[in-house]
Amino acid sequence: MDTDLFVLLLALPMALYIMPKNWISPFQLLLQVAIAAISSSWAISSLSAGENIIVELPISWVVGDIDLSINPLSGFFILLINLTTFTSSVYAQGYLKSYQAAKNRLFLAWHSFNMLWLQLALLLVVSSQEGVLFLVSWELMSLSSFALVLFEAEKAETLKTALRYLVQMHIGMLFLLFGFIYTQQVTGANFGWLAVFSYFGEHQATLGIFSIFLLGFGLKAGLVPFHSWLPQAHPAAPAHISGLMSGIMIKMGVFGLLKIMLGLSINNPAESFGAGVLLLIFGIITGLYGIMNAIVRKDIKEILAYSSIENIGIIFLGMGLSLLASSWGLKTLQTLSLAGSLLHILNHSLFKSLLFYCAGSIYQQTHTRYIENMGGLIKKMPKTAALALVGCLAICGLPPFNGFVSEYLIYLSLFKSLNEGDLLSSLSLLGVIIVLALIGGLALFAFSRFYSIIFLGSGRSAYVDKAQEVEKIMLGTKFLIVGMILAVGLGAVWIMPVIGQVTASFGQNYTLPLADIASPLLQVGISGGIFILVIGLLYGLRTYQQKRVLVSQNLPWGCGYDYKPEDVPLHQYTATSYAANYVEIGNAITGSRKKPILYAEEEIFPTAREFKAVPYDKLASKLVNEPAQKILAASEQVAVFQTGSLRHYVLYAVAFGLLILILSYTGMI
C-alpha cells in the first residue's frame, strides 16, 4: 500500500503549476513530508532488522517495476536526506516570502518542483542497486540542483556559476559511467553495483578501478583538487538550497565511496591498504586546504562553503583510517574511525545547514554577504546571533555540541590504537592526530573571525542599520536544528546503536564495540549537561543582577584619541586585519592578490587611499580556471570559420567530402 501511495506522490508535483502563488511552497512541503514519511519507514525497517530489504515500486505502465534495495547504509542516508530536505523546505516558507513579489507564479512552481525532484533523486541514488537507475538518478540530482542554483538567473555571475557546476558534474558522471561499464564488461555481472562488487571479489589489483570511482564521487563530494565548483555554487544558490546542498547533496559523493568501501571490505579486504592510503591523503589535503581558505574569505557563504570542504576532508580521513586499520589488523581503529565518519556526516548536515540558514537570515536583513560590511548584528538580531554561536561552536568540535562527539570518536580510535601496531602504523597515526589537531585549531580561528566580525562590535556600514530579527518560522527551523545538535551532543550513547547497525553491514570485523564506548560517551553527555546547567545558572544570575543596576553605555576608550561615535567602526578589527598574520604565513597556499598603496614623490599631503587584499583559490585557478581560459581562447580562434556566409558553409561541406574521397581512395580509411 505504501508503495502505491509513494508512486502517486511522484505525480502530484505537476499540480504546483496550476495552484495560486501562496499555495505553492506549503503544498511542496506537504508532499515532501509525505514522501519522507514513507521512505523513512523503509529506512527504519532496514536499520531495525540490520539487513537488506527490497521495495518494489509498481510503475510497470511506465518503464517496468523498479526494485529499490535498502540496507542499513542506505537507510541511514535516507533519514538524513528526509531530515535536511524537511528543514530546508520549512526555512524556505519564510525565506522565499521576500521573493514573492519579484518572482512570478510559474518560476516559484518550477523552483518547488525541482526541490521535490531533488529529494526524489537523492532517495533513488542511495537505494538503487541497478546501474541504469543509479546513473539516471544521479543525473536527475545534478539537473534539479542546477535548476535550484539558478534561482537568481538574472545575475550573469549566477548563470556562469551554474553552468560551471553542471559541466563539472557531468565530468564526474563520465568517470562513474566508465567504472560501471568496465566492471560489467570484465565480470559479465548485471550492470551496476553487483558488477562492481563482483569485480572486487574476482580481482586482486583493484586500486585502478577504485581510483576511477574516487574521481567520480570525489567531484560531487568536493574533494580537493576537484572542489572548484563548490565555493562558487553554494554562494550563488539561495540560503535554503545552500543548506540542502552542503547538508546532504555533497554527501552523495561520500555515500558512493562508502558503497565502494563496503564492496571492497566484504569481497576483497586484502586490497584495503592502497584504497585507505588514497582516502587518507585526500582527506588530509582536503581538510587542511578547506579550512585554510575559509580563514581568508570575506563572503559569508564562501566561508561556509570552504568549511564544508574541510569537513568532507575529516569524513574521508576517518574512512581512510578504517581501511588502513583493516589491512593492519587494528580492529578498534577500523570500527571507531568508520563510526566517527558516519556520525560526522550526520553532525555536519545539522550544523552546516544551521549556519547557512543563519547566513540567509543575515543576507535577507542586510542585503550583503560581505562580512566587512557587517558588525554589531548581535544587537539587531540577538536570536540569530545566539543560534549562529551554537553552529560555530559545533563546527569547531567543542563540547557539549555534536561536532565534538564525532571527532572525539576518531580521536579515541587513534589513541586506543597508537601502541597496538608496528612502528610504521604508530607513526602514521601520530601524524594523523597532529593533522586533526591542526585542522581543529584552524577551525577555531576561522569561526572566531567569522562570528566576531559579523556579530560583535559596531556596525561597519549602513547595511546593518535597518537589520532586525527574522520571522518566527525561520527562527523556528534553526531552533529545531539546535535542539538536534544538543540531542546528539548529549545523547550520543543512544545514537551509537544505530551507527553500529550501519558499520556492521560492512562485515563482521566492523561490529562496533558498544560496551567499550558507552561509558566514555555517557560521561561526555553528563559533563555536557552539567556544563549547560552551569552556564544557564550563571546567565540567570547575571540577568537578575543587571535588572538591579543602571547600565550605562559610553564610547570605548580611544587610547587618548578623542573620536566621534561615527568613527567607532574605523577603530575595530576588520576581517582582513584579523587574519593578517595568518595570511603572511599561509599565502603560499591560500593565495591573495593585493592592491598596493602608492604615493608620488610630490605628494606632501597624500590623498585618501584604499588598500585591498582579495583572496583567490590557487588550486582552482591553476587546475580549472587557467585551462578553461586556454580552451576558450582556442575556440575563439576556430570561430573565424563561422562567417555567417552560406557560400562558405557549402565550401566546407565540399572540402570535407573531397577529404573523405581522398582518404578512401588511398586506403587510409
HEC states along 153-209?
CCCHHHHHHHHHHHHHHHHHHHHHHHHHHHHHHHHCCCCEHHHHHHHHHHCCCCHHH
Is the residue at 165 inside a domain? yes
Of 208, 230, 250, which residue is a domain's last? 250
Q: What is the pLDDT of residue 667?
A: 66
Joined together, the cell numbers standing for residue 108 give 516559484
pLDDT digit string, tens, across residues 416-474:
888 887 888 889 899 999 999 999 999 999 999 999 999 998 888 888 888 899 999 99
Q: How far is CA 460 from CA 30, 392, 463, 569, in A?
A: 41, 22, 8, 5
Q: Which of 386-390, 607-611, 657-661 has the lowest mean pLDDT?
A: 607-611
Q: What is the mean pLDDT of the segment spanning 568-593?
A: 75
User: Residue 570: its pLDDT value, please?
Assistant: 72
Predicted confidence at residue 103, as pLDDT, reads 79
* Residue 234 domain flag: yes
Which pLDDT band, with edges at 50, 70 and 90, does 558 fall under?
low
**Would residue 14 count as lying in a domain?**
yes
Say how many domains are in the chain. 2
* 55-99 residue pLDDT tens: 887 765 555 567 888 999 999 999 999 999 999 999 999 998 888
Q: Coil, strand or helix: which one is 614?
A: strand
Which pLDDT score, from 0 to 100, does residue 1 have?
54
The answer, yes or no, to whether residue 37 has pLDDT greater than 60, is: yes
Q: What pLDDT sits at residue 272? A: 84
State mean pLDDT over 312-320.
94
In this predicted model, which residue has the larger pLDDT, 181 or 578? 181
Residue 305, burial from CB neighbour count under 10 angstroms (0-12, 13-18, 19+) = buried
Please identify, among 250, 281, 297, the residue that sits at the C-terminal boundary of a domain.
250
Q: Is 471 helix (H, G, I), strand (E, B) or coil?
A: coil
Contacts of 338 (CB under 8 A, 6+ apart): 318, 319, 322, 503, 506, 510
The type of residue at 151 is: F
| Last residue of one domain, picked from the residues 225, 250, 275 | 250
Q: Do the domain assignments include residue 431?
A: no
Over residues 519-546, mean pLDDT: 90
Q: How many percent of the chain have pLDDT more than 90?
A: 47
Q: Which tens digit of pLDDT belongs to each residue from 195-237?
A: 998 888 887 778 889 999 999 999 999 998 888 889 988 888 9
Domain that holds residue 644: 618-665
Give the model confidence (pLDDT) of 625-653 as tens digits: 777 677 666 666 666 666 666 676 677 77
Which pLDDT score, from 0 to 100, does residue 270 have?
75
472 within a domain of the structure (yes/no):
no
Q: Would 173 be classed as within a structural domain?
A: yes
517 within some domain: no
The predicted model gives 261-288 an average pLDDT of 87
Give the per-residue pLDDT at 566: 67
605 within some domain: no
